[in-house]
Amino acid sequence: MKKVIKRAALILSFVMICCISYGSLSVSAADFKNMGTKTISDVNKVWTVKFREPVDINSLNNNIKLQDITNGSTVSVSVSAGTDENSAKINPPSGGYKLSHNYKLTIDKNIKSKKGRHLSQPAVLNFSLASNNSSINTGGNSSNNSGGNSSNNNGGNGSNNNSYTASANVEVSPSVPLRKITVSTNLPNVTKYKIEENNNFFAINSSTITFVSKNTLQIYLYDNSGKLLGTSTLDVSSTKNNIIMNVTLN
């Protein structure tokens, strides 16, 4: 009986975090099999799994599976150590999650603790990516809101009325006008970006350190051939994580 209790207690919660914490959602052992459905708005959402015991990180490598339900593909994700021995982070795929796509995240029962104990059963979480404005364009009359009057729901120019977003982290230097900036986007085919006041290309999802002379900068999104696909406006006035920006298509 003691062995069964220890086995069942290996994992007690499955929580969702970004680069900043949104808190924990505790669940009981009875909820392991189906963790329900979540809606996220961050294309670079990081999921954290918390265990009761120190987890063997190596055992997660082939036992975390992500499936794109919308197109039926298997999505490659990486796993890294969490903030302590009892947690692990599931990082987003390269290029981020795709808007309006549905995903299924499976935590296989072959994951084990450092003592060699396995989970009693797998945990499954379903989630989808929605834009920050999805609450305006969805609901009971979503079919009406997605028609010819969509520009009225979002405001501004119809050319900006699209579902693509970019996400950025900004770190401000305390003494000199330097900013560390990381940019990601769900706009298809984007592989690199430029920052206003800097003529260099940077790989999407990578970080760069650049001098700035103002509080807002234009972000330019390019494909592999150097074609400009879209632009965004980024607030660099203070240190922030997971800044969501609308993308204007070119």
Amino acid at 72: G
Beta bridge partners of 172: 179
Sketch out the chain's domains with CATH numbers.
2-129 (2.60.40.1220), 162-249 (2.60.40.150)
Residue 76 exposed, middle or buried by CB count within 10 Å (0-12, 13-18, 19+): exposed
- Which pair of tokens denotes residue 70? 């919308």
What is d(CA 75, CA 106) in angstroms, rounded to the nearest whole number?
12
Q: What is the pLDDT along the chain (250 residues), one digit of tens a residue?
A: 555 444 444 433 444 333 222 223 333 333 345 777 888 888 888 888 888 888 898 888 888 999 998 888 999 988 888 888 888 889 888 888 988 888 999 888 888 888 888 887 888 888 988 865 443 333 333 333 333 333 333 333 334 556 788 999 999 988 888 999 999 988 888 999 999 989 899 999 889 999 989 999 999 999 999 999 999 999 999 999 889 999 999 8
Q: What is the pLDDT of residue 14?
A: 43
What is d(CA 105, CA 205) in angstroms, rounded to the nearest whole number?
21
- Among 96, 87, 28, smallest CA distance to 66 is for 96
